[in-house]
Structure 1
């Protein structure tokens, strides 16, 4: 029986080889504590990757996902710290990401601005608006009365950190949505061939809008996990490399930038490889700037491979996607 050599399988094999190599070379790598730390460290990245994958499968991209996460959660924490009931603050933060997703989706689906430019502009707008109108400082601390919400980042179930469990739950939900629901199949349909999807009567424009709403909701959930884990939300994360890391795990795992290809498993495989790599480099005390160079080179190679495996077609070019 011949096994097809796909990008996903190659990346998974590289992750296993890298894991084995670090286990041999680094004495403290192959311990239960470090393995849990490894997975926990990339749990939020994996969750954000799931939200990005939904958009990319639909022939789009969301460069505003990190800004949406940081500002919405920081605003939620700030409101709760100023006395707004936690439930109300969470509802308003959730409403914020939904509204931003609706605006972004409208710009892409109905105004027909290429997703790369629409989401780049929306990311800048969300961050600027948040810092100018909603927040008085960069870092917002977790309110003392967060209660059970803290379990999202610091809780454990049978010794397994809650962020890992939430990544598993998010992965299952994303898998079921993409594989077994009509909206999920619609996303694959217009991601693979936009014009054919419109001719067959699929609800393309509403689902394009829904993609960005889903991405915003995922960003909000990932932000809550991040904030409860470190007891704060630093909005300066928007100006960091997290957005590139999210794109990296999506493309590296084999979700095609041309749309219509890939799924949850691809995101998890890409997240696994990056998690192993970063954990190993951290143990070896590799400088953060050097780690960024390594990640950028991997991203570049992944995009080149993607362009060869999933070449741009005429409709992709017309959409203006990367």
Structure 2
């Protein structure tokens, strides 16, 4: 294996060769992460799973495992979307708000008599619009991603409550009952939501590994200045990454809503966003950008999803759960900062 890998790109000034460390390229999905960290996280999950199965009578049961798989699937899909922007040195704090408002808006259209395709398309367009605006604010207006997406999330949630729905829980009408298969169906006993997680994981892994645009996102996260000098369309790639994040969040929201027959918009004020970030960081995707991929998301999802499920079974108080999760997130961020020190440019971008 060579120490450097070269990306060829033909820009306005000719063909450029962008080289970056091949050590940041694991074999399966082009991610920038040390393999042993992924293995350690997976081993911790395996040990935890066995221990919880022995210690908790209600853990290793069919009903709980199905519930665990469904909750893990939505968390994993959201984390995959978040991973795309984090790899490119960004962060999307509007993700959960985008999910809730776009899906709730689509459900309202169903309630008003619009057909399923029209309602779903409208929600999709709204999600794409949110991602586009966020990307433009970050790439062209040069607002740090932390503040741009935080403001965008608050804005669209306020607009949604004022203009689209006035209740916390938006129920899917009987006309949309055919959609329930997306969130609650099974194929050969396997929840469809898990199959969607595997589908998104496979598509994004192929995108980051083999698509030029996906490799460019790794490149701008690894070194934005070099990527810009070599002629890569850095600003457009930033916008694209946020569009992908919002689109994936919308899909996760559809799976969530169809699984329970409604969209609970109070999820915007829950800790789900922090759970997603926790999965991304604990899995090994560096907040300094350019490192990590789908494999990291999957192992992080397994560990955090199992932990959340176990705490629920043990009836641990919600506040205590938040304290535990916040401690894990803080430790993960500290470890990430030690393993992947932030450079001057990252700090200038808001030090995500």
TM-score (structure 1 length as normaliser): 0.96
Of 52, 60, 69, the residue aligned with 1:39 is 69
Name the CA distance, whole Å, in 1 between partners of 2:71 and 2:130: 27
3-state secondary structure, aligned to 1:140: strand
Name the CA distance, whole Å, in 2 between partners of 1:256 and 1:20: 29
- Please report how far the alpha carbon of residue 154 of structure 1 lies from its aligned counterpart in structure 2 after TM superposition: 1.0
Of 247, 262, 272, the residue aligned with 2:292 is 262
Name the structure 1 match of 2:22: none
Name the structure 1 match of 2:202: 172
Name the structure 1 match of 2:139: 109
C-alpha RMSD over aligned residues: 1.3
- Please report how far the alpha carbon of residue 282 of structure 1 lies from its aligned counterpart in structure 2 after TM superposition: 2.0
- Equivalent runs, 1:1-322 vs 2, <5 Å: 6-322=36-352
TM-score (structure 2 length as normaliser): 0.88
Name the CA distance, whole Å, in 1 between partners of 2:42 and 2:101: 34
Q: Cα–Cα, structure 1 residues 21 and 133, in superposed 2: closer, same or farther, change >3 Å?
A: same
3-state secondary structure, aligned to 1:56: helix
1:39-63 deviation digits (Å, cap 9, x = unpaired)? 2222111100000000000000000
Count of residue pairs the alignment pairs up: 319
CA contact (8 A) 1:151 1:162 kept: yes
3-state secondary structure, aligned to 2:174: coil
Name the CA distance, whole Å, in 2 between partners of 1:252 and 1:87: 37
1:91-142 deviation digits (Å, cap 9, x = unpaired)? 1111001111110000000011000000001001110111112223221101
Name the CA distance, whole Å, in 1 between partners of 2:325 and 2:145: 24
- Please report how far the alpha carbon of residue 150 of structure 1 lies from its aligned counterpart in structure 2 after TM superposition: 1.5
Name the CA distance, whole Å, in 1 between partners of 2:299 and 2:87: 16
CA contact (8 A) 2:94 2:152 kept: yes
- Please report how far the alpha carbon of residue 83 of structure 1 lies from its aligned counterpart in structure 2 after TM superposition: 0.7
1:219-263 deviation digits (Å, cap 9, x = unpaired)? 110000010111111111101111100100001100000000000
1:167-212 deviation digits (Å, cap 9, x = unpaired)? 1111111111111101100100000000000111111110100011
Name the CA distance, whole Å, in 1 between partners of 2:35 and 2:88: 24
157-166 vs 276-285, greater mean Cα deviation: 276-285
